[in-house]
């Protein structure tokens, strides 16, 4: 028997559960979802984020007849956070009625990266399916100004 015929080791199955969003943050994202203004696409999204000191900021998507003036839920939450003087967040929940968990759009990925590239993101749909990643995972080649 040569090395090519030797049995290959099998990976050990893990029993640790997949990370889940914090229930309080998920509830805030769901509440924001209910306030979404989406008369054109009918695609409602709610987002809620938590700052390192535990404060929660939420936002809903708000559409406009002049489509480019609409605002995504993630950016609404970031703007609420920044308007309150906060500059970082540790966790974000994005909640949407979609067949699979809806991930942030490209513009939101850049905005999220600007504030907290290492933050945890939980994308959740109405069927309770969850996609968990870090902000930086969504945008591996984020635009950054060099600090001088």
Q: Residue with structure tokens 């950054």?
A: 144
* 133: exposed, middle or buried (Cβ count in 10 Å: 0-12, 13-18, 19+): middle
147 is catalytic: no
64 is in an annotated binding site: yes
> Which CATH number does 19-138 carry?
3.40.140.10
Helix or strand (DSSP H, E) at 48: strand 45-50
3 is in an annotated binding site: no
Instruction: Count CB-CB contacts under 10 A for residue 67.
Output: 9
Does the global pTM surpass 0.75? yes
Closest among 96, 25, 19 to 56, alpha carbons compared: 25
DSSP code for 95:
E
Q: What is the pLDDT of residue 132?
A: 98
Each residue's pLDDT tens digit in the chain (148 positions)?
Answer: 455 555 655 545 455 688 999 999 999 999 999 999 999 999 999 999 999 999 999 999 999 999 999 999 999 999 999 999 999 999 999 999 999 999 999 999 999 999 999 999 999 999 999 999 999 999 999 999 976 4
Closest among 111, 115, 96 to 51, alpha carbons compared: 115
Distance (Å, rounded) from C-alpha 31 to C-alpha 46?
Answer: 7
62 is in an annotated binding site: yes
66 is in an annotated binding site: yes
* Beta bridge partners of residue 134, listed in sequence order: 120
SS3 content of the chain, % helix, strand, coil (to 5): 30, 20, 50
116 is in an annotated binding site: no
The residue annotated as part of the active site, out of 24, 34, 74, 127, is 74
């Amino acid at each position: 028997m040569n090395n090519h015929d030797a049995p290959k080791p099998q990976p050990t199955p893990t029993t640790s559960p997949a990370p889940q969003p914090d229930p309080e943050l998920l509830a805030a994202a769901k509440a924001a979802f209910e306030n979404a203004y989406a008369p054109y696409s009918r695609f409602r999204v709610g987002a809620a984020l938590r700052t390192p000191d535990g404060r929660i900021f939420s936002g809903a998507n708000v559409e406009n007849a002049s489509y480019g003036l609409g605002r995504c839920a993630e950016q609404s939450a970031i703007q609420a956070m920044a308007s309150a003087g906060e500059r970082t967040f540790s966790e974000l929940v994005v909640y949407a009625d979609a067949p699979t968990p809806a991930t942030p759009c490209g513009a939101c990925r850049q905005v999220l990266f600007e504030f907290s590239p290492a933050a945890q993101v939980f994308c959740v749909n109405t069927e309770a399916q969850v996609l968990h990643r870090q902000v930086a995972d969504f945008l591996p080649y984020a635009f950054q100004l060099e600090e001088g």
